[in-house]
Structure 1
C-alpha cells in the first residue's frame, strides 16, 4: 500500500493527463505496477522492503533507457513521504546543483528529507559530483542518480562509496507487451476509451522495435493509435510507424565498447556467425565505418598475424572498398572480412614478440649498435672501425652470414619471436628453428676458434 504522496510528487501526478504523452500518463504509481525488474523489486527483495518501509539509502540506478529509473526515483519519494527534486546533468551546472541543495536544506530544517533525482549523473564532473557528498552524509538528501554508463568508470570513488549501485535490466519483449496491453485497456490514463483493435502479433512487433525500452514502445503505440484507420492498428499502420526504427546503440558508451569487444572476441574464437552478428549490430546502430575498419585491421594484425598474412591485405582492401563505395555497398566487404578473419588461422606471436622487444627497450634503455653494423659514410667513421667486419649476406654461402651478430651485446641469446604451430607460421617456425640452430652452431664454432 503506497504512503501518501508529498506535495511535489502529488502535483506531478496531478498534472492534466490529456497534455501528457502516453508514456508519461502510464508511468507506474505503485511498485506493483512496475513491469520487469523483478530481481530488485519482487515482493520480499531487500530493495523493495526498504522502499515500502521508507528506509531509503542514496543509490545509483544503472540501466538502459526506458527501464524505469525515473519512475523508481518518483516512487522512492512517494513511499518515503519525502520531497522530490529532479535535475538533469545534461542541462544543469554547478549553480543549479547548489540551488537544489539549498532547497533540500530548507526542507531538512522543517524535518523532512528530499529525494534528489539526478538524471544522466555520469555527465557531471568531479567538482559537481563532490558537491553532493556532505549533504548525503548528513542525511539532507537521498541521492538517486540515473545513468546508462558503467558507474565504476564514470563516477568518482567518493560518490560511489556513499551510494549503492542497483543494476536495472532491459525489459523483455513479453514484459513490454504486458505494458502495451495495460495502456490499451486503461480508460483514464491509457487508450481504453478508443477501443483500438490490435493483434497480438502487432504488439509483439512494437515490442521488438522498442528494443527493451518501454517508454519507446508506448510512444510507438501512441503514434500508431493516431494513425489507426477506423480503430484498427493494422500492418500498414505499423509499417509507417516502424519505418525508421533503430536498435539501442550509444556510439561511444559502454554498449558501444561491449559490442566491439564481442566482435573482436568472436573473431578470436573463430566463430564467423557470431562475428557477423556483432558486425551487423554495430553497422545497424550507426557505428562509424572508418572506426570499424580500423578495428578489423587491428584484429588481422594482432590475432591472426603471420599465421595468415593475407588477412592484413584483405583488411586493407575491405577498408579501401568501403571508402570507394560507401554505405551500404561497402559494408559487404566488412562482412566478408569478418567471416574470413574468424575462420583464418590465429597467431599473436608477432604481437607478443613486439611487446617483448618493447619491454626490453623500455627496461634497459640504449644498447650500443655493434660496430660492424654501424653506418660509415665518412673516412673518419671508417677509421674508427664503423662497419668493419660486416658480412654482406648475399655474398656468403647459402645467403646467410650465420656467425654475424645483429643484436646488441647482452641480448645475443634472446629470442623474442616464438611462432605457433598453425597456418603459415608452422612453416615459418620450421625455417626459423633451423636458422636459430645454425646460428648457435656458428657462434659455438667461432668461440672454439
Structure 2
C-alpha cells in the first residue's frame, strides 16, 4: 500500500480523516441548508456576529461541533471545548482562567449531561457575556436540558445530512488526501451507508482506502457496508420520534409507512416498545370500529412476546397491517375524556344514587341505602329500569360514536338503553 494511504505513521495513529479535513469556514459546512442557507436564521446570527449562546441538537456527524469551531473563527474569539459527560468543574474553571481579559466561545458537548454544580458555575459567565456558549447534544433540549440554561440560548435542530450532500465531500477528500478519483456511484454508496452522518462516511472512506487503496471498487464498498449497522440508539430522543411516527402511521392508515417505522424500531432491538405502541393504538384508534381487529392485534402482540426477535417481526407486521387497514375510531378515548371532565371534580359534587353504594356489610341498606337496587338479571332482557348516573349528570352523553357501520350499530343500542334507563319506563331496550 502507498505510504500516503496508510492510517498509521511509524509510531503514532494517524489523525482521523474527519478531523483532518474539518471545515474552517461557514460555506464549507455541508447540509443544514434550512439553518445555514442565505438569509436563514442561524446564518444571519453568525454573519452579523450576534453575541448569543446557542444549543445545537441533532444526530451525530451533522456538523454541530464543526459549527461551534467555525463560529469562533467568524467572531474572532478563542475556542475551547468541554464535555459534560467526562469533564469536571475544575476543568471548566481552568478554561475560564485561560482567558482572564477576553470572552471566548465554549463548545459544551453532551450538554444534556450538565450537572447542577457546573451549571451554577457557568450561568454568571453566560449572563456577563464572558462565555459565548455553543451547547451540542443528540437529545431534544426541551426535554433534557435544564430551563435555566435553555432560556439563555437559542435552539436549533440539525438534520441528518443527505447522501447527495455527502458525495462531493467524499470525492473532494479522495482527490486531495488520497490522490485518486472516486466515482459518483461509489461515493453515493458510501453516503447512503452513513445514515446521514458525515463523520461515519469519512471513516468508512478512510478504512476502505486503507484496505484497498486506489483499486477500491463498488463491490468492495458493498461488502463492507453490509456489515455496518447504523441503527439509532433506543435510548435517544430520535427513538421516540420513530415510535411516534409508527403510531401516527397506524392512525393515518398508511400501511407501508407503519411497516417501515416498525422495521426501524425492531432493528434497534426494541421489541417491547413496538408491542406497547401496537396495543395502545389498537384500543385508542380502532376500538369500537372493529373489536375483532383489536383482539387479533393484541393476540399477535402476545405471541410476539413469547417468540421474541427476530421471528416476532412477522407477528408485529401482521398486527400492524390489520390495524392500518381497519376502520378507525377514537370514541373510547374521547368518551373517557368527556367523562373525565366531570370525574376529576370533587366527587361530593355528584353524589351517586344511594342504592349503588357498597352493600358488603351488615345493615348497609338500612344505614346508607347501599345495595337496595333492582337486580338487572331478574328483569326482562337483564336490564333494570333504574338510573345509575348522579342526578345532576343524567343528561350527559359521554359516548359519541364515529360514523363507521359497526359503531353505528352499537350506537343504536346505546340510545335504546339510554332511553329505557332514563325515560319514563314505557320504552323497551330492543
Task: Tell me which residue corresponds to 1:191.
Answer: 178
Task: Tell me which residue corresponds to 2:214.
Answer: 231
Moved more, 213-222 or 249-258: 249-258
Which residue among 386, 390, 399 is the counterpart of 1:408? Answer: 390
Q: What is the CA–CA distance in structure 2 between the aligned matches of 1:209 and 1:244, rounded to whole Å?
A: 10
Which residue among 19, 22, 25 is the counterpart of 1:24? Answer: 19
Which residue among 308, 317, 339 is the counterpart of 2:321? Answer: 339
Which residue among 288, 297, 313 is the counterpart of 1:306? Answer: 288
Task: Tell me which residue corresponds to 1:63.
Answer: 58
Task: Tell me which residue corresponds to 1:129.
Answer: 119
Q: What is the CA–CA distance in structure 2 between the aligned matches of 1:289 and 1:63, rounded to whole Å?
A: 24
The 5 Å alignment of 1:51-200 reads 51=46, 56-103=51-98, 107-109=99-101, 112-186=102-176, 190-192=177-179, 195=180, 198-200=182-184
Shift in Å at residue 330 of structure 1? 0.7
- 1:203-258 per-position Cα deviation (integer Å, ceiling 9, x unaligned): 21111110111100000111111221x63222442244213333452323331222
Structure 1 residue ranges, 4+ long, deviating more than 6 angstroms after superposition: none
- 1:52-78 per-position Cα deviation (integer Å, ceiling 9, x unaligned): 676643222223211111112222223
Tell whether the 8 Å contact from 1:85 to 1:117 is kept in structure 2 after alignment. Answer: yes
Tell whether the 8 Å contact from 1:108 to 1:140 is kept in structure 2 after alignment. Answer: no
Q: What is the CA–CA distance in structure 1 between the aligned matches of 2:401 and 2:48, rounded to whole Å?
A: 64
For the structure 1 residues 262 and 407, does the alpha-carbon distance in structure 2 shift closer, same or farther, using more than 3 Å as the test? same
Secondary structure, in 3 states, of the residue corresponding to 1:211? coil
Shift in Å at residue 396 of structure 1? 2.2
Tell whether the 8 Å contact from 1:108 to 1:114 is kept in structure 2 after alignment. Answer: no
For the structure 1 residues 27 and 379, does the alpha-carbon distance in structure 2 shift closer, same or farther, using more than 3 Å as the test? closer
Q: What is the CA–CA distance in structure 2 between the aligned matches of 1:264 and 1:345, rounded to whole Å?
A: 15
Size of the aligned set, in residue pairs, is 416
Shift in Å at residue 297 of structure 1? 0.2
- 1:37-61 per-position Cα deviation (integer Å, ceiling 9, x unaligned): 3444446667556646766432222
Structure 1: gaps of 5 or more residues: 1-15
Q: What is the CA–CA distance in structure 2 between the aligned matches of 1:343 and 1:19, rounded to whole Å?
A: 55
Task: Tell me which residue corresponds to 1:435.
Answer: 417
Task: With the length of structure 1 as denominator, give the TM-score of the two structures.
Answer: 0.84
Moved more, 271-280 or 358-367: 358-367
Instruction: Work out whether 1:205 is the aligned partner of 2:152.
Output: no
Q: What is the CA–CA distance in structure 2 between the aligned matches of 1:128 and 1:77, rounded to whole Å?
A: 22
Instruction: Work out whether 1:257 is the aligned partner of 2:240.
Output: yes
Q: What is the CA–CA distance in structure 2 between the aligned matches of 1:80 and 1:388, rounded to whole Å?
A: 79
Shift in Å at residue 340 of structure 1? 1.0
Q: What is the CA–CA distance in structure 1 between the aligned matches of 2:378 and 2:42, rounded to whole Å?
A: 80
Q: What is the CA–CA distance in structure 1 between the aligned matches of 2:46 and 2:275, rounded to whole Å?
A: 48
Task: With the length of structure 2 as denominator, give the TM-score of the two structures.
Answer: 0.87
RMSD: 2.8
Shift in Å at residue 438 of structure 1? 2.6
Shift in Å at residue 329 of structure 1? 0.9
Task: Tell me which residue corresponds to 1:13.
Answer: none
Shift in Å at residue 292 of structure 1? 1.2
For the structure 1 residues 180 and 362, does the alpha-carbon distance in structure 2 shift closer, same or farther, using more than 3 Å as the test? same
Shift in Å at residue 280 of structure 1? 1.6
Structure 2: gaps of 5 or more residues: 1-10
Task: Tell me which residue corresponds to 2:28.
Answer: 33
Shift in Å at residue 18 of structure 1? 6.9
Q: What is the CA–CA distance in structure 2 between the aligned matches of 1:348 and 1:240, rounded to whole Å?
A: 47
Tell whether the 8 Å contact from 1:130 to 1:159 is kept in structure 2 after alignment. Answer: no
Q: What is the CA–CA distance in structure 2 between the aligned matches of 1:132 and 1:352, rounded to whole Å?
A: 46
Shift in Å at residue 127 of structure 1? 4.5
Tell whether the 8 Å contact from 1:421 to 1:429 is kept in structure 2 after alignment. Answer: no
Tell whether the 8 Å contact from 2:336 to 2:398 is kept in structure 1 after alignment. Answer: yes
Tell whether the 8 Å contact from 2:335 to 2:398 is kept in structure 1 after alignment. Answer: yes
Q: What is the CA–CA distance in structure 2 between the aligned matches of 1:310 and 1:161, rounded to whole Å?
A: 49
For the structure 1 residues 55 and 17, does the alpha-carbon distance in structure 2 shift closer, same or farther, using more than 3 Å as the test? farther
Q: What is the CA–CA distance in structure 2 between the aligned matches of 1:441 and 1:42, rounded to whole Å?
A: 68
Secondary structure, in 3 states, of the residue corresponding to 1:277? helix
